[in-house]
Amino acid sequence: MAGEKHWKEGMKTHENIIFSCYGGMSNTGITSALACLEAVKELGLEKVAIGCMGALPLGVKPVIGKTKAAKKVITVDGCPFECARKTVEQSGFRPTKSIVLTRDIGMKKKALHEDIGQDIKGVMEYISDDEVKRGKELIVKTILEK
């Protein structure tokens, strides 16, 4: 696009990248997204950013380049379908570490469609602050460990 400056190899970039599954149809996917965002808020954008996951299989060059330049590429999935890890791997990257919230912090998945027509609640009522915090702490530890 005219005038737009894309990232190129050798330019400054985030030290690490997290790819979150961000499935908005379950508590696990939403918790994954929120935990990733909390980790970025805690560590700062120089240390880590959330990668544009949809851009990877599309071959969007700046996103591919920044992912190649990252010291760590961490995938964070809500549930055993592991959409983030599989997308990252199918795009040619090997994650430094895969986090799965059902496996690693013992979350129980709740598919939100189950309550439609019965007692569907506001979205944040399905989210536990404690699970977001534990997910965030695991992500931060994974980024900081040698």
- By the rule CB under 6 A, 79 interacts with ligand SF4: yes
Q: Which of 17, 39, 82, 134 binds ligand SF4 (CB under 6 A)?
A: 82
Q: Which residue number, 82 or 131, has a Cβ lying nearer to ligand SF4?
A: 82
Can you tell me which residue has the tokens 């980024």?
Answer: 143
| Element containing residue 73 per DSSP (H, E) | strand 72-77
Q: Is 81 in the site for ligand SF4 (CB under 6 A)?
A: yes
Q: By C-beta, is 23 or 135 nearer to ligand SF4? A: 23
User: Least distance in Å: CB of 134 to ligand SF4?
Assistant: 16
Number of neighbouring beta carbons within 10 Å of residue 133: 14
- CA dist 9 and 32 (Å) reads 29
Does 78 bind ligand SF4 (CB under 6 A)? Our answer is yes
Q: What are phi and psi of 71, to 5 degrees?
A: -70, -45
Neighbours of 121 (CB within 10 A): 9
Q: Nearest CA to 66 among 76, 52, 77, 54?
A: 52
The residue (of 31 and 67) whose beta carbon lies closer to ligand SF4 is: 31
Determine, following the binding rule CB under 6 A, whether residue 126 of this chain makes contact with ligand SF4: no
Asked if 51 is part of the footprint of ligand SF4 (rule: CB under 6 A), the reply reads no
98 binds ligand SF4 (CB under 6 A): no
Among 14, 18, 19, 29, binds ligand SF4 (CB under 6 A): 29
Helices (H), the chain: 27-43, 55-58, 61-69, 83-90, 101-104, 129-144
Position 131 contacts ligand SF4 (CB under 6 A): no
Give the interface with ligand SF4 as residue ranges (CB under 6 A). 21, 23, 26, 28-29, 77-79, 81-83
